[in-house]
């Protein structure tokens, strides 16, 4: 195959979304000997140690404040918690500029992300803040979401991308709780709808980031599927309080999730959709056949259906989703 034919094949494959930018670059680097897998594994272990170190420091500071709470002043409480969080961020920003110290900077940024919310809570508590409309959590999550989102562009650290999603989700729950409080609406039902919307947001965000951040995308697909399908399952209700529209729609939602998992190349989404479909079949069997003479037969039928779903999930995974397998149409 000459150069022009090879480049044309890559162009056609990328247009059909059969290969990604990372696939092509990875193949090129393997061919030139640039990829060193053992080094990546060792770096991953070092990053884990950095993360554990940051978490331990955060726990130590929180325990120190808890033990010495009555013996230190309000200013000292704020300085130890919020001040330490801000200092960790500033230190991480400077350390990030030094060659070979990115992992150390990661530890300081992790410490900032974990400790600063506690510091903000202490600050609000010590300032005797009170409001019937904007709660502590609204302020804390809004400030942390803003700070971590801005830090994505300032530091280019993937850690802040993760925490931006976490704090954005917490802000969403906190703000909607404040809005719905006192509305008279069913609290449980509203919580289910909120999870439904958040799961949809995760799936859309994962799709938007899929070309550049594949690891984060995989987690977003998994979490989004879990929340969306879990909320849909719960909205169907349980006997005697059953919502038939959601029960009927849930089967279609599960099959749509399986189909979408093939398009998005998400094995986690396929497995989650299959497990929820299995759970739904068991739920229907228990609710509608447990008091009838056909209960044993219903169990047998449900068992065969579960086997079929399990095999179908395995077959779809092997054919469409396994890494290194040929894509459809190849």
Helix (H) or strand (E) holding 267, with range, is helix 267-289
Query: Are residue 70 and residue 115 in the same domain, yes or no?
Result: yes
Q: Check whether residue 226 and residue 105 sit in a common domain.
A: no
pLDDT digits (tens, 9 = 90+) for 182-195: 777 778 889 999 99
Residue with the larger pLDDT of the pair 1 and 305: 305
189 domain residue, yes or no:
yes
How does pLDDT run across 259-280, given as a tens digit for each residue?
A: 898 888 888 898 899 889 888 8
Q: Which of 129, 154, 175 is the last residue of a domain?
A: 129
On whether residue 148 sits in a domain, the answer given is yes
Residue 6: inside a domain, yes or no? no
pLDDT of residue 327: 38
Q: For residue 211, what pLDDT band results from cuts at 50, 70 and 90?
A: confident
Using alpha carbons, select from 174, 192, 198, 203 the residue that is nearest to residue 268.
203
Q: How many domains does the chain have?
A: 3
**Co-location of 179 and 210 in the same domain:** no
pLDDT of residue 324: 44
Query: Nearest to residue 283, comparing CAs of 262, 254, 258, 313?
Result: 254
Looking at residue 221, what is its pLDDT?
95
pTM here? 0.76
Positive or negative, the CA dihedral 40, 41, 47, 51 is positive
Are 250 and 284 contacting, i.e. CB atoms less than 8 angstroms apart? no
Number of Cβ atoms within 10 Å of the Cβ of 315: 10
Q: Which residues contact 327 (CB under 8 A, 6 or more apart)?
A: 18, 320
Does residue 151 form part of some domain?
yes
* Residue 307, pLDDT score: 78
Confidence at residue 42, expressed as pLDDT on a 0 to 100 scale: 47
Range of lowest pLDDT (73-82, 201-210, 247-256, 308-317): 308-317
- Give residue 328's pLDDT band: very low, low, confident or very high (50, 70, 90): very low
**Percentage of residues in the chain with pLDDT exceeding 90?**
37
Residue 171's domain spans which residues? 130-184
Do 93 and 215 lie in one domain? The reply is no
Same domain, 66 and 135: no
Give 147-160 pLDDT, tens digit per residue.
Answer: 999 999 998 888 99
Looking up tokens 């909607």, which residue turns up? Answer: 176
316 token code pair:
């779809």
Is 12 contained in some domain?
Answer: no
For residues 19 and 273, what is the distance between their CA atoms, to the nearest angstrom? Answer: 25
């Amino acid at each position: 195959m000459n150069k022009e034919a090879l480049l044309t094949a890559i162009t056609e494959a990328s247009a059909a979304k059969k290969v990604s930018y990372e696939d092509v670059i990875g193949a090129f680097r393997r061919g030139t000997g640039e990829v060193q897998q053992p080094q990546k594994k060792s770096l991953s272990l070092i990053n884990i140690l950095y993360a554990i170190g940051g978490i331990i420091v955060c726990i130590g500071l929180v325990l120190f404040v808890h033990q010495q709470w009555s013996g230190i002043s309000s200013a000292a409480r704020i300085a130890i918690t919020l001040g330490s969080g801000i200092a960790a961020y500033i230190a991480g920003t400077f350390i990030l500029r030094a060659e070979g110290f990115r992992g150390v900077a990661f530890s300081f940024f992790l410490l900032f992300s974990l400790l600063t919310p506690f510091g903000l809570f202490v600050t609000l508590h010590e300032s005797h803040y009170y409001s019937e409309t904007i709660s502590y959590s609204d302020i804390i999550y809004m400030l942390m979401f803003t700070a971590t989102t801005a830090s994505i562009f300032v530091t280019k650290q993937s850690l802040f991308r993760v925490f931006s999603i976490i704090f954005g989700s917490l802000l969403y729950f906190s703000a909607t709780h404040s809005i719905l409080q006192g509305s008279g609406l069913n609290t449980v039902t509203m919580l289910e709808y909120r999870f439904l919307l958040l799961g949809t947001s995760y799936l859309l965000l994962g799709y938007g980031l899929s070309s550049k951040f594949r690891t984060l995308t995989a987690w977003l697909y998994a979490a989004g599927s879990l929340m969306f399908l879990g909320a849909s399952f719960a909205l169907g209700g349980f006997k005697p309080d059953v919502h038939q529209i959601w029960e009927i729609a849930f089967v279609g939602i599960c099959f749509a999730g399986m189909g979408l998992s093939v398009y998005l190349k998400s094995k986690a989404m396929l497995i989650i959709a299959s497990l929820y479909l299995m759970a739904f079949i068991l739920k229907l069997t228990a609710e509608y056949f447990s008091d009838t003479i056909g209960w044993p037969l219903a169990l047998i039928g449900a068992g065969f259906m579960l086997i079929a779903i399990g095999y179908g999930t395995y077959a779809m995974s092997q054919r469409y989703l396994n890494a290194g397998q040929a894509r459809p149409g190849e």
